[in-house]
Chains A and B, each alone.
Chain A
Amino acid sequence: MLGYIIRRLLAVIPVMVIVALFVFLILRLTPGDPAAILAGDSATPAQLERIRDRLGLNLPIYEQFIQWVKMMLQGDLGVSLISNTSVSTMIGQRIWPTLNIAMLTITISILIAVPMGVLAAWRHRSWIDYAVMSFSVLGFSVPVFVIGYIFIQIFAIELRWLPVQGYTAPTQDFIGFLQRAILPSFTLATIYVALIARMTRASMLDVLGEDYVRTARAKGLREGTILFRHALRNAAVPIMTIIGTGFALLIAGVVVTESVFNIPGVGRLTVDAILARDYPVIQAMILLTAGLYVLVNLLIDISYTIIDPRIRY
């Protein structure tokens, strides 16, 4: 088990190297010049040249890459081209709102989606099943920002139950945090719920046909016990897998949702950095998300061994 975890962690290294190389090249190949953005519209070509020199943008690409990698290996994420502050400080300030909302989203999604899927499978081909499936298709096809604006319109503007936008840290004022985080979390959760509910339903349908479910019935167990104690745990491995892969959707959704709800998180930081061609920030953000994604999926793989005693690495 420990050997497996070490091997998996080592495997992160080549992944990160490939991601880093890819990110670096793609950014430099897209049109747009950070120097021009930094200098403003009235800058002369000589000024631009000076700025490029200072930022090291005039060096050959491979040298820029080597320098960047060297810095990264020392744990230095570089300095923002635009704001001139260190990238790690910028991310450090902005990461918590994003993480808090992401956690809340995952919790809400699992709490809603799993019972939905179980119910749909249990009442296969009934109206409950069709309702869950319809919601699933809808949740998957409507864009995140549309859902966000609809929620704001209904719950913040019409009903005035919740604030329209903004963010409060949970350490400061937990109720305030919940009030402001609940709409963005539900917005983000729709697509995630759709995905997880669908997978739960499919996986449960398989398991409900198994012999041990028949055994559980023959023992005279209650339906709830059969569904949640016997069937769900057996159905859990694919559900965990989809939660892990769906994490990518969550990351994509965060960027949009933070803009809609005006939350000072890393999602908006990334958008701003892309618009400003702030290379160090973009690179750091992509590396960070890639690393997070790999880590989440490692945790998911380890969770299999807890769910199913037959799985041993």
Chain B
Amino acid sequence: MMRFKNNDKSSAKAVLDVRHLSVRLSGEEGPDGLVLDDISLQVHEGETVSLVGESGSGKSVTSLAVMGLLPKGALEVSGGEIEMDGESLLTLTPSQMRRLRGQRMAMIFQEPMTALNPVMRVGDQIAEVLQTHRELSRRDCRDRVLDVMQQVYLPDVARIYGSYPHQLSGGQRQRIMIAMALALEPKLLIADEPTTALDVTTQAQILSLIAELQERHGTAVLFITHDMGVVAEVSHAVHVMKHGKIVEQAPVETLFRHPSDEYTKRLLRSVPSLVPRDARSQESTEPVLEVSDMQKVYSGGGMFFRKPGTHAARDISFTVKRGQTLGIVGESGSGKTTVARSIMRLVDPTSGTIRVAGKEIATLSRRALRPHRKHFQVVFQDPFRSLNPRWTVGRSLIEGPVNFGTPHQEAYERALEMMELVDLPLDALKRYPHQFSGGQRQRIAIARAVMMRPDLLVADEAVSALDVSVQAQVLDLLDEVQERLGIAILFITHDLRVAAQICDEVIVMQHGAIVEYGSAREVLSRPRHDYTRLLIDAAPGREWDFANCCELLTA
């Protein structure tokens, strides 16, 4: 049973009141320069209001405008009003605004690794907020910092006080960010995708921490996210943004039960369901990839004494059959990427066997491996970085087959076919990667991989960097490519929803080992291992069927 936050907070005092706000590119007149158009929203004491939308919808710009942090010379407020506790923020001087920040309004960001200063002790980074806004003795300041660190449930606070960000885990870093934001008990907290970079189990902890602190201090929270599951868990009210406009706003349950705007409906339909899709008929039994007893140990180094190594993958055995998709799910550090890289021979496995299309490749030398590389191809997570920006798409596509002796003309013709397969215009071959959107680029990356006519496609978090609606399209494309060419796919993902939608079989990994391996339906609906259950329980909005706007019956 999905429990929405239905307690109405709109009668409480409004902390943030944004009315008809518009923001434009500096120096650009006319409708083209408009980045935010007529944004109105209110956040009340103790209330969480979510801003949802895909990349480029203007949700982050809205938050920066409220904080007075729009990049100078690039963006400027061109109309409307932002009020906090009845005080207009747009008329404040920069130094008045500075005093508000950190004190009455605070912000936490998406990526705690980059949002914290890497060369400063985290305790000092929290202490800075107190020192800037309060007159405190050194001792009192330190005590206060240790106290807030305890409030966000950091262990061993005295040690962590003196640690640098890189010495902490992702979850700990985000706790530091939260401690920093809440040190002075601000009335308004803006959380910009605060859990997007975290693992699901960590995400669940951070979300409940924010909720708890909000409860205790009556903080108003403006929550920015693209994740509908998170929205369903945390918000009282939701605003859906698209191209700088709010297209729909409603109390949370109303929005999920009866979405009225077309775009909202489309967004909700794109959220992959946690219910595994129906198993496909197993026509083929021909194994394309057979891994058995594979290990990968990273040696510990050390000049005089050998330090103990790290077991990144141990006793990995599985099989992928032609036309089937095997998913490997797990959190960061679980070893799923090490497995993928070992199979690609981007790293050399320490022991064990890997057979691709019947050929043992685990121990082949680089040179001997080369002719077999075309049998297995990879699609990476970030299409912005995995295509050479100075090469035309055509050149990137043709390079592989030409390296393996295909005549240039033939390769070019195959590239044209590929454009059709991935549903891009034929003239895309003459253009450069930056001229395409993220989704289109991922289509190109898939086309590049499929150009080689591989038997096995390894997709390493291939849809994780994409917006949900684009994600759905790319998943469909992978399905179609698989159906037409009969490729086996090894799909690495941290996202159980995605795994449920694309995989026939699923492997769950933890600490470098396989903890559960079975059909997607078995593993996701009747998990046997505790860790799998933990992962499923941590998935936000798991009781809700977003596409059909109702409770999930099987949950």
Q: How far is the CA of A215 from the CA of B112 in the complex (A)?
A: 10
User: Which are the 4 A-B pairs with shortest beta-carbon distances?
Assistant: A220-B102, A220-B101, A211-B114, A219-B102
Task: Give the residue of A211, A221, A307 whose beta carbon is less than 8 angstroms from that of B115.
Answer: A211
- Contacting chain A: which of B127-135, B141-149, B222-230, B516-524? B127-135
A-B contacts at CB below 8 angstroms, number? 73
Q: How far is the CA of A150 from the CA of B111 in the complex (A)?
A: 53
Q: With a CB–CB cut-off of 8 A, which chain B residues contact A229?
A: 120
Q: A221-B128, A230-B117 are in contact. Are A309 and B164 (CB under 8 A)?
A: yes
- Considering only CB atoms and an 8 Å cut-off, how many residues of chain B contact the other chain? 28
B118 engages A218 (CB within 8 Å): no
Q: How far is the CA of A5 from the CA of B116 in the complex (A)?
A: 31
Q: A220-B98, A221-B132, A310-B166 are in contact. Are A214 and B109 (CB under 8 A)?
A: yes
Task: Say yes or no for A233: interface residue by CB 8 A criterion.
Answer: yes
Q: How far is the CA of A3 from the CA of B302 in the complex (A)?
A: 11
Expressed in whole angstroms, the minimum distance between the Cβ of A25 and any Cβ of chain B is: 36
A217 engages B115 (CB within 8 Å): no
Task: Give the residue of B106, B119, B166 whose beta carbon is less than 8 angstroms from that of A307.
Answer: B119
B132 engages A310 (CB within 8 Å): no
Q: How far is the CA of A308 from the CA of B164 in the complex (A)?
A: 10
B180 engages A219 (CB within 8 Å): yes
Task: Give the residue of B98, B114, B303 whose beta carbon is less than 8 angstroms from that of A3.
Answer: B303
A214 engages B166 (CB within 8 Å): no
Q: How far is the CA of A101 from the CA of B107 in the complex (A)?
A: 50
Task: Give the residue of A217, A220, A234 whose beta carbon is less than 8 angstroms from that of B99.
Answer: A220
Task: Say yes or no for B475: interface residue by CB 8 A criterion.
Answer: no
0/1 string, A39-72, CB within 8 A of B gives 1:
0000000000000000000000000000000000
Task: Say yes or no for B364: interface residue by CB 8 A criterion.
Answer: no
Q: A211-B109, A222-B132, A225-B132 are in contact. Are A217 and B101 (CB under 8 A)?
A: yes
Q: How far is the CA of A226 from the CA of B48 in the complex (A)?
A: 30
What would be 15 A-B contacts, judged by CB atoms less than 8 Å apart? A211-B114, A215-B115, A215-B117, A215-B180, A216-B117, A217-B101, A218-B69, A220-B98, A220-B129, A220-B132, A221-B98, A221-B128, A234-B117, A309-B119, A310-B119
Task: Say yes or no for A212: interface residue by CB 8 A criterion.
Answer: yes
0/1 string, B485-504, CB within 8 A of A gives 1:
00000000000000000000
Q: Which of B228-246 contact A (CB under 8 A)?
A: none
Task: Give the residue of B102, B111, B128, B180 whose beta carbon is less than 8 angstroms from that of A211.
Answer: B111
Q: With a CB–CB cut-off of 8 A, which chain A residues contact B116?
A: 212, 215
Task: Say yes or no for A272: interface residue by CB 8 A criterion.
Answer: no
> Closest chain A residue to B118 by CB distance?
A310
Task: Say yes or no for B103: interface residue by CB 8 A criterion.
Answer: yes
Expressed in whole angstroms, the minimum distance between the Cβ of A215 and any Cβ of chain B is: 5
- Considering only CB atoms and an 8 Å cut-off, how many residues of chain A contact the other chain? 22
Task: Say yes or no for B100: interface residue by CB 8 A criterion.
Answer: yes
Task: Say yes or no for B67: interface residue by CB 8 A criterion.
Answer: yes
Q: With a CB–CB cut-off of 8 A, which chain A residues contact B106?
A: 218-219
Q: A210-B114, A310-B166 are in contact. Are A218 and B101 (CB under 8 A)?
A: yes
Q: Which of A191-249 contact B (CB under 8 A)?
A: 210-212, 214-222, 225, 229-230, 233-234
Expressed in whole angstroms, the minimum distance between the Cβ of A18 and any Cβ of chain B is: 25
Q: How far is the CA of A222 from the CA of B132 in the complex (A)?
A: 8
Q: How far is the CA of A135 from the CA of B56 in the complex (A)?
A: 41
Q: With a CB–CB cut-off of 8 A, which chain A residues contact B117?
A: 212, 215-216, 230, 234
Q: With a CB–CB cut-off of 8 A, which chain B residues contact A310?
A: 118-119, 164, 166
Q: Which of B63-109 contact A (CB under 8 A)?
A: 67, 69, 98-103, 106-107, 109
Q: How far is the CA of A308 from the CA of B69 in the complex (A)?
A: 27
A215 engages B109 (CB within 8 Å): yes
Q: With a CB–CB cut-off of 8 A, which chain A residues contact B120?
A: 229-230, 233
Given contacts A212-B116, A234-B117, 19 further A-B contacts (CB under 8 A): A211-B111, A212-B114, A212-B115, A212-B117, A212-B118, A215-B177, A215-B180, A218-B107, A220-B99, A220-B101, A220-B133, A222-B98, A222-B132, A229-B120, A233-B119, A234-B119, A308-B118, A309-B118, A310-B166
Expressed in whole angstroms, the minimum distance between the Cβ of A85 and any Cβ of chain B is: 46
Task: Give the residue of B115, B119, B164 whose beta carbon is less than 8 angstroms from that of A214.
Answer: B115
B109 engages A234 (CB within 8 Å): no
> Closest chain B residue to A237 by CB distance?
B119
Q: How far is the CA of A219 from the CA of B128 in the complex (A)?
A: 8
Expressed in whole angstroms, the minimum distance between the Cβ of B86 and any Cβ of chain A is: 20
Q: With a CB–CB cut-off of 8 A, which chain A residues contact B180?
A: 215, 219
0/1 string, A255-289, CB within 8 A of B gives 1:
00000000000000000000000000000000000
> Closest chain B residue to A306 by CB distance?
B119
Q: How far is the CA of A253 from the CA of B152 in the complex (A)?
A: 57
Expressed in whole angstroms, the minimum distance between the Cβ of B99 and any Cβ of chain A is: 6
Q: With a CB–CB cut-off of 8 A, which chain A residues contact B128?
A: 219, 221, 225
Q: A3-B303, A230-B120 are in contact. Are A219 and B101 (CB under 8 A)?
A: yes
Expressed in whole angstroms, the minimum distance between the Cβ of A302 and any Cβ of chain B is: 16
